Amino acid sequence: MSDQALQQTLLQRAREFDLQALAEIYDLFSPALYRYAVRLLNDPDLAEECVTETFSRFLRALKSNSGPRRHLRAYLYRVAHNWITDHYRATQPASVSLEEIEDVALDHHDPSPLQVVIGKLASERIRAAIMSLTPDQRQVIVLKYYEGMTNDEVAAAIDKPVGAVKALQQRALAALRRVLHVQSDPAGVLDELRVETGSA
């Protein structure tokens, strides 16, 4: 059974509130959703909360006879994405304290706190760049680069043709380059960060 057929079957059973099917759905999609949320939130607790809220909204949608019609995975990613977007809107930009930097450095056994700061700031900047994309572009980037889907799978997940997926991917990469000022080498980002932080 293909992935799409499996999703259709699970969705059909889930509409009848088959607990077994719902449990299978949770086991099948919650790890990927957690990784997706962690990448964008950089917080395991918030990511877990995001996953819980995503599946709760999915249940309410089934109860009101709405919810996904065909692509269950795309639906769950979209719900999680909306939750993360709302979270970013509601909270202030994350700030990095020195204690946190030291803890992270100790956890990662990194002797250089500067590298910890640089790495954390770089991750935040990339997250911010990804969050600045449109929902479709973000989903294409996340599903293709982080979930390892092919263009066909992404197209099926977001219910768009393959050509549209390629176009979305190209526009997303261009937007990321424009936001991140990507130079010919990735060290440019670090150099830029060093200049911004005054540690050069």
Partner 1 sequence: MSYELRRAQRDLLGKAKRRTSRDRMTEQSLGELLDSLYHTPPRNAEAAARGRATFLAEAAAMRDELARRPKRGMLGWLSELVKRCLGMGRLDGEPSASPLDAPLRRVSASLVPGLVATFASMTIVVVAQNSLPNQTLYPVKLWSEDIQLSLTIEPENRLALLIEFINCRVMELNALHQRGESPSPEFILRLEAQINEALQLLNAKSGPDAFDIAAVRALEQLRATITDPPPIVVPTPPARLSAPLSLTPMVVLTRAPVNTVLIHSVSVTASPEQTPTTVATVTPSADTTSALPSSALTPVSLIPVATSVTADGDPVTTTSRTTEDAIRTVGDPVDLGASTPTAVAVTIPVLPTVVVMPQPTAVPPTPTPVHVVPTPQPTAVPPTPTPVHVVPTPQPTVAPLTPTPVHVVPTPQPTVAPLTPTPVHVVPTPQPTAVPPTPTPVHVVPTPQPTAMPPTPTPVYVVPTPQPTAVPPTPTPKPTAVPPTPTPKPTAVPPTPTPQPQPTPLVPIPIPVVPTTVKPAPPLLPVEPIAPPALPINTPVAPTLPILPTVMNPIPAPIFSLEHPEVTATPLPDESVRATAPPTLGPMPDQTQQQGEPSGDK
Closest among 34, 32, 30, 58 to 47, alpha carbons compared: 34
User: 3-state DSSP call for residue 129?
Assistant: helix
Rg (CA), the chain: 19
Which single residue is written with the structure tokens 């919810």?
67
Binder of partner 1 out of 27, 92, 95, 198 (CB under 8 A): 27
Binder of partner 1 out of 7, 11, 29, 68 (CB under 8 A): 68
Q: Is 122 in the site for partner 1 (CB under 8 A)?
A: yes
CA distance 184 to 172: 18
Please choose, out of 81-89, 94-102, 110-118, 192-200, the segment that lies near partner 1 by the rule CB under 8 A. 81-89
Binder of partner 1 out of 4, 28, 34, 88 (CB under 8 A): 34
In angstroms, what CA-CA distances link 57 with 41, 50, 53, 136, 170?
A: 19, 11, 6, 20, 32
Binder of partner 1 out of 96, 103, 186, 199 (CB under 8 A): 186
Q: Is 154 in the site for partner 1 (CB under 8 A)?
A: no
Binding mask 99-118 for partner 1 (x = CB under 8 A): --------------------
CA distance 33 to 29: 6
Residue pair 138/81 in contact (Cβ under 8 Å)? The answer is yes
Q: In the complex with partner 1, which residue's Cβ is closer, 76 or 155?
A: 76
Considering CB under 8 A, how many residues would be counted as binding partner 1?
A: 66
- Return the amino acid letter for 167: A
DSSP annotation of 143: I
Minimum Å gap between C-beta 52 and partner 1 is: 5
Number of helices (H) and strands (E), helices first, in the chain?
10, 0
- Site residues (CB under 8 A) for partner 1? 17, 19, 22-23, 26-27, 30-31, 34-35, 38-39, 44-45, 48, 51-52, 54-69, 71, 74-76, 78-83, 86, 119, 122-123, 126-127, 130, 141, 145-146, 158-159, 173, 176-177, 180, 182-186, 188-189
